[in-house]
């Protein structure tokens, strides 16, 4: 403890002046490498797996893997908003499951009114699913801001509640057929999860649109800057007149909506809605955000980084499957990569602050 405290000034003082530019240049190069580490890891993964299996780098496999990535990426983008404010959202997997069941129920059996059963078009069903996710997110946000429940606890509770609600929706059963009928005017749910445009799955296009929107919101709007401010220093944000509670509720709403969208994509892909949809997906989503350089303490991170993180996780798991590594080893590798990512993140922060001190 004390050693690490003393070390930096000593080094700074001991470094002979002529060496400093060279050291600085070296440090800058290392920093660049660390900043782009998610990309570096991704490239290394592709090189390793394609050298083991000739199938890995084929167009069809790349498209398939990207489609797998899309769902986790959308979840992770939502979670990134939350983590940027210094919070956490453990409920996204369950929200995805709930949205899946709500949409599945509407498509499969419609909405029962005393006067009869109403069926909605696919677009309306999707909208309702997303609104349900956003509302659950809003409940998270209100619990955290108005009732001062720690984000971990509030969303852990919601993890159970939303999953339970999903199971209650069908009494634990599956809605097996979501194709709809012409007569009910609710066909075409497969479009978002199965179909392709220009040879690229619709799910991937949706991911691109969500990511682009998220990039604009986080970097180009006052709301985005305020998210970073709340996560970077909440007290300073309060003093700057930022309505911190509103920002917090908003990020949980965004996270819930993204989770619901991901759940709908998954459901469409499977062609059936079952209550266990997306169980434990929240962990993959958080892992993607962390891998992409989002600091769990808040205030630091990028949407692009999170998407890259989702790619690393997706390409890694699919690669391990493809080369025939057992699922047990897959877990071990995935866990190790996540922890390693956090270690390099800290190395980057240290280097960055050292460089800042040197140039100041």
Partner 1 sequence: MSEPRGPRHDAMSEAAQPRNDALTEAAAQPRNDALTEAAAQPRNDALTEAAAQPRNGGLSEATQPRNVAMSEAAEPRNGAMSEILEARNISKNYGGVRALKDVTFTAYRGKVNVLVGENGAGKSTLMKILSGSEQPTSGEILLEGEPVQLGSPRHAQARGIGIIHQELSLFPNMTIAENLFAGRELRKGGRFVDAAAQRRQAREVLHRLGQHRLDPDTLVGDLPIGQQQLVEIGRVLLTDVRVLIMDEPTSALSNHEVDVLFGVMDELRRDDVTVIYISHKLDEFRRIGDWVTVFRDGSLVAHESMSRTDTGWIVRQMVGRDPDSLYVRNSSPVGDVLLDVRGLTVDGTVKVDDVSLTVRAGEVVGIYGLMGAGRTELVETLMGMREASAGEVFIRAKTEPKGTVQARMAAGLALVPEDRQRDGLVPTMSVRENILLATLARMTRGGLLNGGAEQRTAKDKVGELAIKIPGLGALVTALSGGNQQKVVLARALLTDPVVLLLDEPTRGIDVGAKSQIASLMADLAAQGFGVLFISSELAEVMAMADRVLVMARGRVTAEFTAENVTEEALVAASASDSVLEASA
Structure tokens at 84: 């940027």
Given candidates 106, 229, 258, 289, which one binds partner 1 under the rule CB under 8 A?
A: 229
Binding span for partner 1 by CB under 8 A among 61-69, 114-122, 262-270, 350-358: 350-358
Q: What is the DSSP string of 166-220?
A: HHHHHTT--B------TTTT---THHHHT-EETTEEHHHHHHHHHHHHHHHHHHH
CA dist 97 and 91 (Å) reads: 10
- Can you tell me whether residue 117 is helix, strand or coil? strand
Minimum distance from residue 208 beta carbon to partner 1 (Å): 19
Given candidates 299, 305, 309, 319, which one binds partner 1 under the rule CB under 8 A?
A: 299
Given candidates 4, 5, 22, 115, which one binds partner 1 under the rule CB under 8 A?
A: 5
Given candidates 225, 335, 336, 340, which one binds partner 1 under the rule CB under 8 A?
A: 225
Contact status, residue 92 vs residue 156, Cβ threshold 8 Å:
no
Taking the least distance from each CB to partner 1, the nearer of 6 and 198 is 6
Asked if 359 interacts with partner 1 (CB under 8 A), we say yes
Q: Is 175 left (phi over 0), alpha (psi -120 to 50) or beta?
A: beta
Taking the least distance from each CB to partner 1, the nearer of 3 and 182 is 3
Q: Which residue has the tokens 């759940």?
A: 263
Minimum distance from residue 256 beta carbon to partner 1 (Å): 23
Given candidates 231, 275, 292, 293, which one binds partner 1 under the rule CB under 8 A?
A: 231
Q: Which of 72, 53, 192, 171 is nearest to 122 (CA)?
A: 192
Given candidates 181, 221, 326, 346, which one binds partner 1 under the rule CB under 8 A?
A: 221
CA dist 303 and 35 (Å) reads: 14
Q: Which residues bind partner 1 (CB under 8 A)?
A: 1-2, 5-6, 9, 216, 220-222, 225-226, 228-229, 231-233, 235-243, 295, 299-300, 353, 356-357, 359-360
């Amino acid at each position: 403890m004390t050693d690490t405290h003393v070390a930096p000034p000593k080094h700074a003082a001991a470094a002979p002046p002529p060496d400093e530019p060279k050291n600085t240049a070296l440090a800058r190069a290392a920093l660049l490498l660390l900043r782009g580490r998610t990309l570096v890891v991704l490239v290394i993964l592709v090189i390793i797996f394609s050298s083991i299996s000739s199938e890995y780098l084929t167009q069809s496999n790349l498209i398939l893997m990207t489609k797998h990535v899309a769902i986790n990426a959308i979840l992770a983008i939502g979670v990134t908003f939350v983590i940027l404010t210094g919070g956490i959202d453990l409920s996204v997997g369950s929200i995805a499951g709930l949205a899946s069941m709500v949409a599945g129920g509407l498509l499969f059996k419609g909405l029962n009114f005393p006067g009869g059963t109403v069926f909605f078009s696919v677009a309306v069903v999707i909208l309702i699913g997303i609104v349900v996710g956003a509302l659950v997110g809003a409940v998270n946000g209100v619990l955290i801001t108005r009732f001062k429940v720690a984000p971990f606890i509030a969303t852990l509770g919601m993890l159970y509640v939303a999953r339970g609600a999903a199971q209650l929706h069908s009494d634990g059963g599956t809605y097996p057929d979501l194709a709809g009928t012409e007569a009910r005017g609710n066909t075409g749910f497969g479009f978002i999860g199965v179909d392709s445009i220009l040879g690229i799955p619709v799910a991937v296009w949706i991911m691109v649109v969500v990511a682009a929107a998220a990039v604009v919101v986080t970097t180009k709007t006052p709301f985005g800057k305020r998210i970073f401010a709340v996560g970077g220093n909440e007290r300073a944000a309060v003093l700057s007149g930022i309505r911190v509670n509103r920002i917090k509720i908003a990020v949980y709403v965004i996270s819930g909506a993204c989770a619901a969208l991901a759940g709908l994509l998954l459901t469409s892909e499977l062609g059936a809605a079952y209550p266990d949809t997306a169980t434990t997906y929240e962990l993959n989503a958080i892992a993607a955000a962390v891998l992409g350089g989002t600091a769990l303490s808040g205030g630091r991170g990028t949407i692009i980084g999170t998407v890259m993180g989702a790619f690393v996780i997706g390409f890694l798991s699919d690669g391990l499957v493809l080369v025939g590594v057992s699922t047990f080893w897959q877990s071990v590798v995935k866990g190790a990569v996540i922890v390693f990512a956090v270690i390099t993140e800290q190395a980057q922060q240290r280097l960055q602050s050292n460089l800042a001190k040197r140039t100041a």
